[in-house]
């Protein structure tokens, strides 16, 4: 790892976020990991993801590191007044509430730019402005209507992708938009509104399938039914029922693969000479390969494929990644405080700056952990803060 002590690129940038769930918090987390001071404005009862069960149980620690927390009741004028004081000090405001919610509170872009013309306002929604923008969207909703669920499942069985792809990527594009707006502000001196949306993000994800149709005139088949562009590109069930993904995606790799596993007859077969020949021969070729490899263990196959620089992958469950030797050796996981106060590990951003992964400077905050300090910074006295707490307009330390 690099010993660089260079400042993070967005140090000195202040973000006030009115966000919840995944999309908005992802935007703030990315900016926070890159050095921005991100202030999470939570309701008095706290972000709902602090209490979610099941598939949402890990949302808060995953998407809210490196942030400060202030608790405010925005349904009361005094809570909105405190929020406005914070906004007056901000470079960026980020929100992901239903359309119209922020306007009702007087915290929409048109209102806030009067207070702070240099403000960059990032709005995360289900849809960009248009015929659908009144609809309530979820990641699963836009996957279904945007072609991704169709492409993921089998024919007649649409299936959402196995993670919150649109929420996470929508937040990433919100952050990219904020970065672009910061650069534009350097040129113009003015802020602007940035909009990111789940549906449009999903369309970006399936663009390759749209363009396949444009290029060929043939509709893309769902991934489980597709005709692969590569002849060997499959999950194999091998010894003891283990599974492993194996691939040979070029003629050179096919030659290496055949020689590594004693498949000289297949290598010499003129019907299997090129990758396209092998794609057309998959109906009879793949059963032969599966039978030939079935007696090997996944570990044996992994060793041969790695030695010969062929693509392969064990079929790994998410919880098994905590012990992944590569992630642990390269600093890809960092200690994180969970909602119940216990400690786990969490994946960091998948890139390096100067050889270092942007790390965790601030653990996911306790509810209102920074309330007192932030209110004092924008002019509240101890007595005023105490009165706000008495009126249940704020809480925390």
Same domain for 269 and 365, yes or no, is no
The domain that holds 48 is classified in CATH as: 3.40.50.10540
| pLDDT per residue as tens digits for the range 142-167 | 999 999 999 999 999 999 999 999 99
Q: Extract the runs of DSSP E, i.e. beta strands, from the chain.
A: 14-18, 37-42, 67-72, 92-95, 120-125, 193-197, 232-237, 243-248, 312-314, 333-337, 343-347, 394-395
**H or E element: which one contains 372?**
helix 371-377
| pLDDT per residue as tens digits for the range 44-67 | 999 999 999 999 999 999 999 999
- Looking at 292, 316, 340, the residue that finishes a domain is 316
Same domain for 33 and 128, yes or no, is yes
Same domain for 164 and 42, yes or no, is yes
Predicted pLDDT at 227: 73
Model pTM?
Answer: 0.93
Percent of residues, the chain, with pLDDT higher than 90: 96
Same domain for 192 and 111, yes or no, is yes
Q: Where does residue 341 fall: left (phi above 0), alpha (psi -120 to 50 degrees), or beta otherwise?
A: left
Predicted pLDDT at 4: 52
Same domain for 88 and 200, yes or no, is yes
From the number of C-beta atoms within 10 Å of its C-beta (0-12, 13-18, 19+), residue 332 rates as middle
* 278 touches 285 (CB < 8 A): yes
Burial 347-371 (b: 16+ CB within 10 A, else e): ebeeeebeebbbebebbbbbbbbbb
Distance CA 69, CA 88 (A): 17
Tell me, what DSSP letter sits at residue 157?
B
| Domain that includes residue 192, residue range | 14-206+348-395
Domain for residue 119, yes or no? yes
Same domain for 166 and 307, yes or no, is no
Indicate the SS3 state at residue 381. Answer: coil
Same domain for 178 and 83, yes or no, is yes
pLDDT at 224 over 90: no
First to last CA, the chain: 36
Percent of residues, the chain, with pLDDT higher than 70: 99
pLDDT band at 3 (very low <50, low <70, confident <90, very high): very low
What is the total count of domains within the chain?
Answer: 2
Same domain for 127 and 159, yes or no, is yes
The domain that holds 290 is classified in CATH as: 3.30.1540.10
Same domain for 202 and 232, yes or no, is no
Domain for residue 332, yes or no? no
Distance CA 381, CA 391 (A): 15
Predicted pLDDT at 396: 95
Beta-bridge mates of residue 232: 248
* 252 touches 277 (CB < 8 A): no
Burial 248-267 (b: 16+ CB within 10 A, else e): bbebebbebbbeebebeebe
Domain for residue 340, yes or no? no
Same domain for 107 and 195, yes or no, is yes
Same domain for 245 and 175, yes or no, is no
* 17 touches 94 (CB < 8 A): yes
């Amino acid at each position: 790892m690099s010993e660089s002590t260079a400042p993070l690129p967005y140090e000195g940038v202040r973000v006030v976020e009115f966000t919840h769930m995944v999309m908005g918090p992802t935007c703030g987390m990315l900016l926070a990991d890159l050095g921005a001071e991100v202030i999470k404005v939570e309701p008095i009862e706290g972000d709902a993801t602090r209490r979610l069960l099941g598939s949402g149980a890990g949302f808060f620690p995953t998407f809210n590191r490196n942030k400060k927390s202030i608790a405010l009741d925005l349904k009361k004028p005094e809570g909105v007044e405190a929020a406005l004081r914070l906004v007056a000090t901000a470079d960026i405001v980020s929100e992901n509430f239903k359309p119209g919610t922020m306007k009702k509170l007087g915290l929409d872009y048109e209102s806030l730019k009067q207070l702070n013309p240099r403000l960059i306002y990032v709005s995360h929604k289900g849809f960009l402005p248009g015929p659908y923008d009144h609809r309530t969207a979820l990641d699963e909703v836009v996957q279904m209507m945007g072609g991704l669920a169709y492409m993921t499942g089998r024919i007649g069985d649409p299936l959402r992708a196995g993670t919150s792809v649109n929420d996470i990527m929508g937040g990433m594009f919100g952050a990219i938009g904020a970065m672009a707006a910061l650069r534009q502000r350097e040129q113009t001196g003015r802020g602007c509104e940035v909009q990111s949306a789940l549906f449009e993000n999903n369309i970006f994800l399936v663009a390759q399938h749209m363009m396949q149709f444009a290029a060929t005139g043939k509709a893309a088949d769902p991934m489980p039914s597709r005709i692969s562009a590569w002849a060997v590109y499959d999950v194999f069930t091998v010894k003891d029922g283990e599974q492993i993904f194996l691939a040979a995606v070029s003629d050179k790799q096919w030659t290496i693969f055949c020689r590594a596993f004693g498949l000289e007859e297949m290598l010499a077969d003129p019907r299997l000479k090129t990758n396209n020949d092998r794609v057309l021969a998959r109906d009879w070729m793949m059963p032969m390969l599966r039978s030939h490899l079935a007696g090997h263990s996944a570990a044996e196959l992994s060793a041969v494929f790695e030695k010969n620089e062929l693509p392969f992958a064990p079929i790994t469950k998410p919880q098994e990644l905590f012990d992944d030797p590569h992630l642990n050796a390269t600093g890809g996981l960092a200690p994180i405080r969970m909602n119940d106060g216990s400690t786990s590990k969490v994946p960091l951003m998948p890139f390096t700056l100067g050889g270092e992964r942007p790390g965790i400077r601030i653990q996911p905050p306790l509810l209102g952990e920074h309330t007192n300090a932030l209110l004092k910074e924008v002019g509240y006295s101890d007595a005023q803060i105490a009165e706000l707490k008495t009126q249940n307009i704020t809480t925390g330390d």
